[in-house]
Amino acid sequence: MDDARRTALDRRLTTRAEQIRDAFGLVLALVVLTYVLTSLLGDTGWRALVIGLSTSATSIVGLTSAHAPPRVVRAAVCVAAVGLLFAAVEAAGGNRVWLGIASALQVGLLTVAMIAVLRRVISNAGIDSRTILGAISVYTVLGLLFTFLYSFIARIQGGPFFEGHPHADGSDFIFFSYTTLTTTGFGDLVPAGQPGRMLTGLEMLIGQIFLVTLVAGLVSLWRPGERFRQRREEKG
């Protein structure tokens, strides 16, 4: 691609990106959609491709909302396309190794996107509803990331991931991940060994630290009517 075409593409991406800058409510909605799809569909075959589409959309919208440079968004689109291609190959009857690669790409892409969102939230000068939604989005994505990690480990390790539950699927992993993240811990699903137990403890630790330090801190500083009062005073 020559410089002129690249510049034109960057301008189009920038124009479209301006429409969803700081749209963290949309990011959160996509996270919830991915949660619902994973819970209902599982994580194999063509269902994994559908979940991959939702996850990719979450990552790309997250990067765009966080004011990521156009070249980063382009790279994310390429990585997402490769991951979806691998998921499609597995769904069409290929080796499950392809699905493992697709999952790894999704985890990497989602991690980069949420780091970008977190940086945007922390660097934002004012605390408003979009800032709060951005922080909540990152917190809820932690559950998705660990869901994919648990599922990936279950594919590559020998033996079942959960004790007494030899045929776990995506709905089991996402249920376990979010009950772990929120330290609800019903106890019906327990990791059979390492590294599952180590990751479970890590998820609980990260979830609690994130919730107490960032989300609670932002909420305590949030003044919903402050900007409205400032504008009214300026006009008056």
* DSSP one-letter string for 172-191: HHHHHHHHHHTT---SSS-B
Whole-number Å distance between alpha carbons of 210 and 124: 17
CB count within 10 Å of CB 215 equals 16
Give buried/exposed letters for 113-147 (b at 16+ CB in 10 A, else e): bbebbbebbeeeeebbebbbbbbbbbbbbbbbbbb
Q: Is 162 helix (H, G, I), strand (E, B) or coil?
A: strand
Other C-beta atoms within 10 Å of 190: how many? 15
> What tokens does 150 get?
């648990």
Within a 13 Å sphere around the CA of 70, how many CA atoms are in the beta-carbon half? Answer: 13
Residue 114 amino acid letter = M
Cis peptide before 166 (omega within 30 of 0): no
Query: pLDDT tens, 90-119?
Result: 878 766 778 788 888 988 999 999 999 988
Q: What pTM did the predictor assign?
A: 0.80
47-51, 129-133, 220-224: least confident range = 220-224
Please, which pLDDT band fits residue 78 given cuts at 50, 70 and 90?
very high
Q: How far apart are CA 162 and CA 15, in angstroms?
A: 47
pLDDT value, residue 40: 87
Amino acid 33: pLDDT: 94
Residue count (the chain): 236
- How high is the mean pLDDT of the chain? 81
Q: Cα dist. 82→68, 77, 104, 107, 136 in Å? A: 20, 9, 11, 13, 28
Q: Band of the pLDDT at 159, cuts 50, 70, 90?
A: confident
Lowest mean pLDDT across 33-47, 51-65, 141-155, 165-179 = 33-47
Q: Tell me phi and psi for residue 165, to 5 degrees.
A: -140, 80
Reply yes or no on whether the pLDDT at 15 is more than 80: no
Residue 212 token pair: 């107490």
Mean pLDDT score, 162-167: 84
Per-residue pLDDT, 198: 94
